[in-house]
Amino acid sequence: MSRPQKDPLRSLTDEERSFVQQISRAQSEPASHVARAKAILAVAEGHTFTEAARSAGRCSGDAVAKLVARFNREGLAAIEPRHGGGPAVIYGEAEKERILAEFRRTPDREMDGTATWSVKTLQRALRRAADGLPTVSGETIWQVLHESGITWQRGRSWCETGKVVRKRKSGPVTVIDPDAASKKS
């Protein structure tokens, strides 16, 4: 006979149950999400943690117990894995937005010492600012800019992917490609 569960699964709402069932049957979801959803459903149907692990293609009932405890705390967010090792994430969304805000600011020739941003001058400005990032690296700035679709061009200028300036009779017009993100990947 198995031990009693320390943290049994709370009852699922109808919305949660339908969402978890949808993920457990999905072929386009990552395998880790599908396995976690199958384990949650098996426990909800009354199976033990060990049986739920086996039905989800896993070995450890302890891992299912931890998944259930996390599901009780966080809800559907427990199906998606968290940061899986390596150095801790230092720069979150707020810091990335701060880097992009500084990039979008037109540099002041006197204060910044440049008319156009390079990675190094942007790094210097971010480190010097009162609300800036005192330890930001050039590599981090480069990654943030590339993730947002901004690339360094051969003509020593920055270009946003999907934006182009077209010449018209009325003057230059900025045209934005709505499918730029799908074309990149």
Length of the chain: 185
Any bridge partners for residue 150, and if so which? Answer: 160
**Whether 91 contacts 140, CB under 8 Å:** yes
From the centroid of its chain, how far is CA 148?
Answer: 12
Residue 97 pLDDT greater than 80, yes or no: yes
Q: What is the mean pLDDT of the chain?
A: 88
Query: Amino acid identity, residue 122?
Result: L
pLDDT tens per residue, range 25-43: 999 999 999 999 999 999 9
**Whether 40 contacts 22, CB under 8 Å:** no
Please report the pLDDT score of residue 1 as a whole number. 53
